[in-house]
Every structure is written in structure tokens, then in C-alpha cells.
Structure 1
Amino acid sequence: GAVDGWFALHERWVRLPMSDVLAAPIEYARNGFPLSPVIAAGFEGNRKRFQSVAAMIEEQENATKTYFPGNVAPKAGDIFRNPDLARTFSALATEGRSAFYEGSVAQAMADYFKAIGADLTLDDLKAHRGEWVEPRGVEYHGYTLYELPPNGQGFAALMMLNILKQIDLREFERGSADIFHYMVEAKRLAFESMASTFADPDFAEMPIDELLSEDYAKRQFARIRPGTVIEPDYLAVPLEGEGDTTYLTVVDGDGMMVSLIQSNYRGMGSGLVPTGLGFMLQDRGELFSLEDGHPNIYAPGKRPFHTIIPAFLMKGDQPFMSYGLMGGGMQPQGHVQVLVNIADFGMNLQEAGDAARFLHDGGSSPDEGVATEYGTLFVEPGVPAETVDALRLRGHKVKVDDTAGKFGGYQAISRDPRTGLLTGATEMRKDGTVVGY
């Protein structure tokens, strides 16, 4: 649905013709660009992963030709070219959206699906339509966080905030065990609710109003015990996820702010590259549930539970901050941590992203349902040792981890409501940049 989303945005908001918008991507794909160390490591990691599951993938020749010529991943500093993708982008620039869903690109995909024995057809591509949805917001200490509704996980961040509003985190020292304890428990409770309800809204009734209500937040908060973790009655299935997610935010001269995220899901995706098109198909179908009767169980024409979520923050009634934080189940946790850093501890945009993070990996999720273990609380080395010890005493299964990618990738732009001054921030843990234009 990414291409449909691009054209939907373009039709409603963009002044430039799509041929101009795609000119630079076409140039980079055709003539190449140097790979950063992070991207090069991703190439090699995915090459190894595809080799390890080769028996499960219908064909790998196209992926090898496109990304790993000679079965060798390009290294940092190498110029990576993808002429097939340049031709695909050129088709989009000249033929428009229809190229991808019913025209030349669609037909090439349909031929490929038939050749590998897949069920997807040209009619399926023709039937695809994205939709505009209404975000929902939760107010938190003078700010309002807006997230997109299911089939994504954005409302988990809103549930976390509603629970955290029941206690004033400003009463505790930043970096203390109390701060981490309440935030992690709020996450576990929010993900528990998400696991049993979130799915494609066209196929499932979801009690969204109840889940985002003050009464529900109060009942959930009442389950949190200050000195120990909540018993895992049915908490803590790991939400699998790793990164081929890209987040970007941009603000134009009129103050229009865009928060955009897209992803293939696991690594580079499925390992399947349609012949001659230069892109890998996503594998988001992995996030369906296989549990009979679950709202997120797979079905024809149904969208799976989705992890990627852009965020938007208002300050009072003024647009304040467009931001996102890549990384599977880390995303709602990261959105909340950044907001708490700003709203409760007065951090600026960059400080809010640089501050040591946690990731509770193991929380109920719509793809895997519910479980009976506590999960693991990963924290960065910047979390004080006394905080780690205190969290362990409360029953948290804490691991200090310096794997940069584990804790997400943050990008943000804020706008001063008084002056209109724009400020950018970028992730120190992986690739990212701030550019004025």
C-alpha cells in the first residue's frame, strides 16, 4: 500500500508534479549512492538470513541479483545501484498510481506471482485502495499526542499515557527505578489490551472508546503495585520485529508538517523480488494471528496487525512536534518515553531522543496473543546501575544492552508556537540527519 499512500498524499497536499518528486529517487537508483555502515550491516545480515531460510522462499535469484551480486553484500562506502528500481520509479512518474496497481508494474508483479505459485493476482492489485482515517489524541501535561487507529499499534501509546496520567511522574527523579517501573507496567497493561482486541477494523469490532476512556485507565492503573511487578496472568508474549522501517518528517514554508513511516517488516522483507522491478515484497502477513476466533486471525482481503506508527504532538491548540521512532514494538514505548522526557522533565528535542531508553520485549500482541511470562526489560547502559538493581528487586527481568538498533530510531521536527522557529533532532544510535531547505 505504500505507493497508493504516496499518491493519496500527493493528490491532496502536494504542489509539485510526481515526476519532479521522483526525479531524485530515480537519479539515486540509476547512478547509485554510497552505503552507510548501518545499511551495509543490514545488507549482510539479511543476506545471511535469506540463506538460512532458503528452503522456505520460493526463489532467491532475483534478490541475489538485485542486492547481493555474486552472493556478496555490498560494504560500507560501496556505491549501490538499482537500475530496475529506477525504471519502476520512472513508470510511476509517467503513468501515475495506475502503473503499480493495474498497469505495467502490476502486470510484472502478477506474472511473477504466477511463476512462483503465489495466490496474489492482478485483480487483487486492482482492488487495493488505501483510506484516510481519523487519528485520536490523549492530553498529557499540556501536550496532546495523536496516533493512528488500528490495524496499527498507535493507540497502545495512548493507553500508556492514560495510565501514566494517574500518577505524576514529576514527583520522581529522572532515571529512577520508580519512573521506569510505572512506565514499563503501563506498557505491559496497554499491550495486554491491544493483544486481545486490535485487528483490521473492517473485520473486527474493537472497544476503542472504552480502551481510551479515563475509567479504563483508572482500572488499569489500580493493577500496578509500586514495589513489585504485576503478576503475569496473561502478559508477555514477545512482539517480533526488526528493522527495515524508514521514518521521515518534513515541514514546508507554510508550516505544513508531515509525519510518515513505512516498512517492509522483517529486515528487508520477504526475500521475493519481482523480476525486473528492483524492490522486495513486504512480509507483513506474518503479523496475523493463527488462533481461531482471534480478531487478528488471517482472512482473505484482511489487513494484519501493523507495527509502524507515525506520531504527532500538539501543545495546547498549536502544532508542536512531528516525530517517530522506528523499531517494531519499541515504537509506542518510544513515543511515550520521548513525550515524558519533554513534558515532565523539560528536555529539548535532541535531549529527549538521546536520553537512555528502555524496551520491554515481551508483551501481549495481536499476532501472538497472550502468554504467561514477565518478558524482558532491556535498558541502555546509560540507565544508572542503582536503578537496574532496584528494578530487579521489584521483579523485572532486566538486561543491560548496548545494541543500538534495539532501542529504535528517532527523528523529529518541532515548531515553536510563538515564533514559528523550526528545530530538528535525529537519532544518535543509527542513521539519520537534519536538513534545512
Structure 2
Amino acid sequence: MDNFSNTQTVRKQVIATRGGVVAAQHRRAAEVGAAVLEAGGDAVDAAVAVSFAIGVVEPWMSGPAAGGCMTLWRADTGQAQVVDYGMRAPLALNPADYPLAQDGRSADLFPWPRVVNDRNQQGATAVAVPGVVAGMALAHGRHGRLPWRDLVLPAAALAEQGMIADWYSGLLTASTAKALSLDPDAARMFLDDGLFAIVEGWTATTQRHLDQKAMARTLQQLAAEGADAFYRGGIAEALVRDVQAKGGCLSLDDLAGYRAEWAEPLAIAYRGGRIHAPPGLTGGPTLAAALALLNEGPPPPPGGPGAASSLATARALHAAFDARLRGMGDHDSPRAPGCTTHFSIVDRHGNMAAVTQTLLSIFGSRVVSPSTGLLLNNGILWFDPEPGKPNSLAPGKRCLANYCPVVGEAADGRRFALGASGGRKILGSVLQLASFLVDHGMDLEGAFHQPRFDISNNQRQLLADQALPAAVQAALAAEFTVTPVRRQPHPYAFACPAGVLRHSGWNTGCTEIASPWGDAVAERLPG
């Protein structure tokens, strides 16, 4: 039961182009990436520019103090590649500093036992070693065509102007205002009078902007001095000083010792095509397990997803999540999805990038470094605070993440890059979208407008888009507890995907249709 219209429809237009396309969770970041493609940049150049730009205009999701993963397709070599730049626990982290409370569970993303004073999710004690800058630098060093400086400065210009505070940013900020008010620097950046979300009246036609000038200076320094400034230079010194002053243990040695890594992607044969996913402590192995289960069954009948194919997908996801929970240390979680960003890019030559980045919780640790203007992650929340578990807290340990950026191709030669934000909801979204494209032959517009479901809590509970046909909902309800929900911008019942597709030299892009900011932007071609 809700208050919303049943006759309103929401659609996003998908237009094919011979030029490159950037699909991102924020239109202005996508425009920055499209301008890089117009200037002759590679898909990786555009990814670097979008990564830094989206950290300005969607700061509660990502930023230089975040972590993530990138899956690439190189048209010249016909090979996929992965850049892993996930977060790590600081070397000085002491699990004893995160004592368990007498009772209760975490009120955030994971139902871990609650830690005294929420030290693993809120404040500087929750900050892990960030990897975004190192990941972008590693990819750019191998594939970049344009100077690093030219890719970072557009983000600095956006920060100098300040993010536009509109109704959507006001809604997201209001949901976390109490937590943000506990850190004076976060309150100063995001709140009015240190208490209230920054938003104009409901009839206002004027605009307000966040004060991100400190972040602009950091990005200008990063543009001029390169990634080393973040890990070994002046930015590193300022960041460590601020985190330690607020009680965290991040050190100069943590930053200097951090390395992003190239990784061999998982190559998953599927229905005459192939999907490349990240390996290791990501959603990739779980996606591979679900696709393998689907591959064992018969191909779906012609037409769109019906009752039988939807039920097969739900069964595969349920089984894959069950294996993940038992073997990788994740937990059952019916809570809100992680606050992440995803963008997908294809350039005019067919090179692709699928990139997912995250601060983990919305607004990360809810702490701002005043010297750098950066909102900090709360990556320590990824670890189980209870000792003796597969994913328990430990110094220097890599975080187990849910992100799953993929590139793939269908049997008919169509190639795509996909990913999503949304914590554990990401896997189901990526799997279903890939199935829509590969199994059902949909174009990108059809796939993104197709209703989906989510079964990520592993308790045989399934959230179904109420727009799914009655026969599909009935088939799912025969084996799972189905709750029909509305697809809307807040809260997200499903993940928030972005994707691009290439076929016969034509490129398209699309983002989650319920997202008011997400958009696909094409480069402007000469003439």
C-alpha cells in the first residue's frame, strides 16, 4: 500500500549513435566523459574523467576516498581486463578497538553484531584505505591517450562551482542528516545550520550549491601532481592528519603501500556468448555460479522473460547467494543497499569500460576531511566484527565487496558493458539484464525497461516489481515469499544499473529508468 499514481509511466529514450556513449548515475558526470571522447580520448580516459567528476556531483556515493573495480574490453586485442582497486583495512587496525555491544545488531547495511558506539560504521574509526585514485592511474597508464591533468581538471571545475542542491539531493541528505550533524565538517558541507538538508522551497526557481572549494583545491593538486600526491605527497599528509585527528588509524604507510592491481577476469561461457566478470572478493564469482546454473537448464522459449525463465533465474540466484554466504563470509541482510555508483562507457572504436565505485554506506563514514574536502569511506563496515569468521576484522585485510562490473557478448555479436549500484542487489540486476540481452535478444532500451525482481537476502524472500506479469509473479510465489513493490527513485527496491551496448558499429546507452539524475550522453560527432 502506498500513495503513488498507478497511471504514471517513466521511460528513458535510447538513441543509437556511431560515436561513443557514457551512461552514468549523474548526467553532468556523463557529459564530462562524453566531452573526453569528443576530444579523442579512449574509453579509459573517459572513465578517469567520469570517476572524478561523479565524486563531486554524487559525493555520498563515491569520490577519491572510495574504492572500486573496473572491467574493460579492448577492441584492438579482443581481450577483457580487470582493475581491482578495492579498499583495505589499515595496518594499525586493532580488532580489539571494535568491541561488541551487549545486544543488538548494526543499524546500517549488514546485520553484524553491533559494535560499541558504532565505531565500525560511523566516524574516522570506520575509514579504510581508499583505492580510486590508484585504480584510475593504473588504467590510465596502460590505455590513456589524453594527459591525466586534462581528465581531472573538469571535476575540479565542477567542485569549484559546487554541486547543485536540488530536491533529490535534499531527499538523500535528509535521510542521513542526523548522522552528518555529528561531524562538524560534514555538517558544514551538507547541512543548513548544521542540522537540516539543503533544499529550496517547493516553488523555488533559484539554485543553491554546496561549498566544495576545498575539494576543488585537492583535485587541482591531483591534476597537477598525479596520483602520487594522493598516496605519498601533500594530499596524503593532509588526509592522514585529518583522519588521525578524528580518531582513525589511517597512516602514511597505508597510503604509500597501497597498490591497485590488474587481474585476470572470469570468462563465463553463456548460451553461445561470453561474460567477463571480476574475480576474487567481488560479486563476480557469485555471478559466475548463477550463470553456470542457468546454463545447465534449457534455453528460455522465444519472447520476453516468462514464468519459467523468471523462476529459473530466481532459483539460480538463490543457490548462488547461499554458496556465497557459506563460503565468502557475507551475511544475510534485508537492509538497504550499499550506496555505490556505476558507469559504463563505449568509445567509437568499441573499447568499453564498466566501472563500479563506492564509499560503502550512504555518505560513507559521515566524516569529511577538512583539509582535502573529501567525504571519507566506511569500508571497515564490510568486515564482520565478530572474531573467527571468514570475513572478520583484521589489519591490512582486503574488503569483501558486492560490486560486479561486467563486459560481455551475445552469440549474435552484440557486445555490452553493464553494472549497477545497490550492494547485494547488484548481482541480481546484472544477471537479469545480461539474460534479457543474451537469452531474449532485447535491445538496451527494452532490457532496462523490463521489470525485475530481487532475491538477495537469501531467506526465500523475493521483491518483485509490481509491473511483472501476473503469471510471472504467481510462478515465483509458488516457491518464494513474494512482496510486490514499486520501482521508484527512493528508496530503491532494486539495484540502479547503467549499461552500454554495441552492435554493427552502432552504440547505445541507458541508465536505471527510475533514477532522476542518471543519463546516457553521446559524444558529438563532426558534421
Give the TM-score normalised by structure 1: 0.81
Aligned match of 1:422: 507
Summarize deviations over 1:55-85 as a string: whole Å, max 9, x none. Answer: xxxxx00111122242232227533341111
Identity of aligned residues (%): 26
* 2:375 equivalent among 274, 280, 283: 280
Residue correspondence of structure 1 range 153-168 to structure 2 within 5 A: 153-168=283-298
Residue correspondence of structure 1 range 34-433 to structure 2 within 5 A: 34-50=164-180, 54=182, 60-70=183-193, 71-75=195-199, 78-171=208-301, 174-198=304-328, 237-238=332-333, 240=335, 242-316=337-411, 320-363=415-458, 374-392=459-477, 394-404=478-488, 405-416=492-503, 419-430=504-515, 431-433=517-519
Give the Å deviation of 1:328. Answer: 0.8
Aligned match of 2:162: 32
What is the SS of the residue equivalent to 2:394?
Answer: coil
CA contact (8 A) 2:263 2:279 kept: yes
How far apart, in 1, do the equivalents of 2:353 and 2:476 lie?
38
How far apart, in 1, do the equivalents of 2:327 and 2:417 lie?
27
How far apart, in 2, do the equivalents of 1:251 and 1:173 lie?
28
Q: 1:288 to 1:197 in 2, by over 3 A?
A: same
Give the Å deviation of 1:422. Answer: 1.1
Give the Å deviation of 1:346. Answer: 2.0
Aligned match of 2:128: none
Give the Å deviation of 1:163. Answer: 0.3
Aligned match of 1:227: none
Summarize deviations over 1:228-274 as a string: whole Å, max 9, x none. Answer: xxxxxxx9822655343111122223322111110111112111111
Summarize deviations over 1:378-409 as a string: whole Å, max 9, x none. Answer: 011111234334433x2411111115222121
How far apart, in 2, do the equivalents of 1:113 and 1:236 lie?
29
Give the Å deviation of 1:49. Answer: 4.6
Q: 1:288 to 1:240 in 2, by over 3 A?
A: farther
How far apart, in 2, do the equivalents of 1:172 and 1:435 lie?
32
How far apart, in 2, do the equivalents of 1:329 and 1:407 lie?
10
CA contact (8 A) 1:35 1:79 kept: yes
Residue correspondence of structure 1 range 6-21 to structure 2 within 5 A: 6-21=136-151
Structure holding more helix per residue: 1
Task: For CA contacts below 8 A with separation 6 or more, give which structure has more relative contact order.
Answer: 2
CA contact (8 A) 2:160 2:213 kept: yes
Q: 1:398 to 1:258 in 2, by over 3 A?
A: same
Q: Work out whether 1:436 is the aligned partner of 2:522.
A: yes
What is the SS of the residue equivalent to 1:341?
Answer: helix
What is the SS of the residue equivalent to 1:269?
Answer: coil
How far apart, in 2, do the equivalents of 1:343 and 1:255 lie?
19
How far apart, in 2, do the equivalents of 1:436 and 1:7 lie?
24
Structure holding more strand per residue: 2
Give the TM-score normalised by structure 2: 0.68
What number of residue pairs does the alignment pair up?
382
How far apart, in 2, do the equivalents of 1:174 and 1:248 lie?
26
Give the Å deviation of 1:33. Answer: 4.1
How far apart, in 2, do the equivalents of 1:349 and 1:311 lie?
15
How far apart, in 2, do the equivalents of 1:173 and 1:116 lie?
57
Give the Å deviation of 1:319. Answer: 7.2
How far apart, in 2, do the equivalents of 1:125 and 1:429 lie?
37
Q: Work out whether 1:2 is the aligned partner of 2:132.
A: yes
How far apart, in 2, do the equivalents of 1:292 and 1:358 lie?
34
- Which segments of 5 or more consecutive residues in structure 1 lack a partner in the other structure? 55-59, 200-234, 364-373
